[in-house]
Amino acid sequence: MQIRNIAIIAHVDHGKTTLVDKIIHATKVFRDNQETGELIMDNNDLERERGITILSKNISVNYKDVKINVIDTPGHADFGGEVERVLKMADGVVLLVDAFEGPMPQTRFVLQKALELNLRPIVVINKVDKPNCRPDEVHDAVFELFFQLDATEDQLNFPTIYGSSKQGWFNTSLTPTEDITPLLDTILEKVPEPKVTEGTVQMQITSLDYSSFLGRIAIGKVVRGTLKEGMPVQLCKLDGSMVKSRIKELYTFEGMGKKKVTEVAAGDICAIVGIEDFQIGETVADFENPEALPVIAIDEPTMNMQFSINNSPFFGREGKFVTSRNLRDRLNKELEKNLALRVKDTDDADKFLVYGRGILHLSVLVETMRREGYELTVGQPQVITKEIDGQKCEPYESLVVDVPSEFSGKVIDLVTQRKGEMLIMESKGEMQHLEFDVPSRGLIGLRSQMLTATAGEAVMAHRFSEYKPWKGTIPGRNNGVLVAKQAGTTTAYSIDKLQDRGSFFVDPGEEIYAGQILAEHIKPGDLNVNAVEGKKLTNMRASGSDGTSSITPKIQMTLEECMEYIQQDECIEVTPQSIRLRKIMLDENDRAKYAKMLKIEA
């Protein structure tokens, strides 16, 4: 049977997962009367809530007696570690581009990886049903991007398909058709069959699955030879050593699930059960004369955060896993499949430094852990600096902002305050398209400020570009915070009296502890406040509105917003049901002593 292996790559929100849904429906993977819902591939709760793909996934469909293995990849540059390894399984890529937005920073990032691996591209210009769309201009911009990325002549001669995955049609021209068969026909015609070289068996492990019944399952593409059930193999480890092993069971992908088989020929993607202690990037090779494939190189992390046990007064109330041993085991388990993550021990056994690609990458890990029942404290994200030619250097990012023209001045002002340099400014219809080169530090906390300044209209995207010399201090948060003086339950009376001092993160009736951050102060500098004082009752009745107090609802902040908000002396307490901001030192006197000590040192 003929095989095609194809990865779908695009910027976040350009419609990859919706396109995969349409391919699944068009090839009749489900019965006609089967209830499937939308975004079939985004099967974990976090992905569905956020509307983003975090983990790459494979499915397989049959079309005209050809098996097409489809790999859905994440669009966020923060999950680049996922993209880089799964592209190894593909022989061609479908590059999906929005007909209005055109190529975006992450499009460039994933396309560059695909072209370096010499994959055959098919360009799909999606969402041509949108008002203000500009498919012809976008097509030229995509060609320009290929040219900038040094595509070969063969790659520059890419086929282009137009359509709308939401409406369920694709065509080689802008004329709507009944279905998506023109796209599937182009995949069969343009994507080459997997290259099979002669030699002993080889398969690189590019992702892993876990089943409580079977244990860890290795997934990858068979490059040479044929794998058989019960066959003895050698596992070529990353450090160069060899480990003898045996394949217990073999599965190939069929539809949304896996099908048990006795053998898998070169070119197909399969899952192996029975190999112990493997890591991503290692090679399953021949038993007699094993040959390892080159290891997958992954871009380095650019940001780190301190993870520690929850040591607040409310410790252990909501979580099941609260000790440092639980935390260490969970982080080590994450390292097995999250390639772009690094974990380092610190001098304190209860604290770990976790390195990742960006705030989203780290916050998804924290969010997943709290849903699993972990309690932890996370510190302020810090960028990783390097010494290059004797100079201190920091990571820089390419930032792209699309914003209505009347707000462009505010955006430029915000980014330049954070040491960003504007490279491009051009009009796209009523929108201004702005491109900046900005230090990664400058992006922390920028999104919420930008959305406030542009009435929620700005669309921003960024990706890591390179390390450059340190740009000096960047102004952080201007305002201080209101910190709880004592523990207790907040009262409407106290909050009402304090409302003119700041905007609150808690509602009346919430339990708080000393050292917890309750609100943002209207001025710089922190203020210790009592928010648990009740009204003293007397038997005298006051005329007028005595007991009424109007309280503004609290500010709800997501985990990422909290990470961007906190300063060096603050941290976030994360439990399965709550996210609280707090000072690292809960005692007011300890904070005062520490501040005094810093002044003396300075």
* CA separation for the pair 463, 108 (Å, rounded): 9
Q: Flag whether 515 is marked binding.
A: no
* CA separation for the pair 413, 408 (Å, rounded): 9
Contact present, 158 and 46 (Cβ < 8 Å): no
Q: What is the pLDDT of residue 547?
A: 55
pLDDT digits (tens, 9 = 90+) for 338-347: 767 889 988 9
Sheet of 481-484, strands arranged across? 502-504, 517-521, 481-484, 527-529
Integer CA distances (angstroms), 8 to 27, 48, 58, 483, in order: 17, 19, 10, 48
* CA separation for the pair 106, 461 (Å, rounded): 8
* CA separation for the pair 105, 431 (Å, rounded): 17
Which residue numbers in the chain have pLDDT < 70?
A: 1, 11-17, 28-57, 74-84, 105-106, 212, 256, 297-299, 337, 339, 540-549, 602
* CA separation for the pair 516, 520 (Å, rounded): 12
State the DSSP code for 89: G
State the DSSP code for 194: P
0.85 cut: is pTM over it?
Answer: no
State the DSSP code for 348: S
Q: Flag whether 390 is marked binding.
A: no
* CA separation for the pair 256, 252 (Å, rounded): 11
* CA separation for the pair 169, 154 (Å, rounded): 27
Integer CA distances (angstroms), 235 to 105, 196, 215, 218, 293, in order: 37, 21, 17, 11, 11
Burial 579-602 (b: 16+ CB within 10 A, else e): bbbbbbbbebeebeeeeeeeeeee
Phi, psi (degrees; rounded to nearest 5) at 303? -145, 145
Q: Flag whether 13 is marked binding.
A: yes
Q: Flag whether 14 is marked binding.
A: yes
Q: Flag whether 244 is marked binding.
A: no
For residue 174, what are its two tokens? Answer: 């802008």
* CA separation for the pair 171, 451 (Å, rounded): 37
* CA separation for the pair 114, 121 (Å, rounded): 8
* Side-chain-facing half-sphere of 462: CA atoms under 13 Å: 26
Integer CA distances (angstroms), 562 to 496, 520, 555, 567, 587, in order: 24, 12, 11, 10, 22
Q: What is the pLDDT of residue 386?
A: 87
Q: What is the pLDDT of residue 376?
A: 92
Q: Flag whether 43 is marked binding.
A: no
Q: If one looks up domain 386-469 in CATH, what number appears?
A: 3.30.70.240
* CA separation for the pair 152, 254 (Å, rounded): 34
CA–chain centroid gap for 243, Å, is 34
Domain boundaries, the chain: 2-190, 202-286, 386-469
CA–chain centroid gap for 17, Å, is 15
Contact present, 343 and 329 (Cβ < 8 Å): no
Q: Flag whether 16 is marked binding.
A: yes
CA–chain centroid gap for 190, Å, is 31
Integer CA distances (angstroms), 261 to 6, 248, 273, in order: 22, 11, 12
Q: Flag whether 29 is marked binding.
A: no
For residue 352, what are its two tokens? Answer: 């770990």
pLDDT digits (tens, 9 = 90+) for 285-318: 888 888 888 877 666 788 888 999 999 999 888 8
- Cβ neighbors of 542 (< 8 A, separation 6 or more) are none
How far separated are the first and last CA of the chain, in Å rounded? Answer: 73
Q: What is the pLDDT of residue 515?
A: 92
Q: Flag whether 323 is marked binding.
A: no
Q: Tell which CATH classification among 3.40.190.80, 3.40.50.300, 3.30.70.20, 3.30.70.260 matches the domain 2-190.
A: 3.40.50.300
Q: What is the pLDDT of residue 484?
A: 92
Contact present, 23 and 67 (Cβ < 8 Å): no
* CA separation for the pair 583, 573 (Å, rounded): 10
* CA separation for the pair 470, 393 (Å, rounded): 5
The beta-strand segments (E) located in 45-91 are 57-63, 66-72
HEC profile of 295-313 = CCCCCCCCEEEEEECCCCC
Phi, psi (degrees; rounded to nearest 5) at 194? -55, 135
Give the Cα-Cα-Cα angle 568, 573, 576 (nearest 5 degrees). 150
| Nearest Cα to Cα of residue 11 among 93, 101, 89, 119 | 101
Q: Flag whether 129 is marked binding.
A: yes
The third-level CATH classification (topology) of the domain covering 202-286 is: Elongation Factor Tu (Ef-tu); domain 3 (2.40.30)
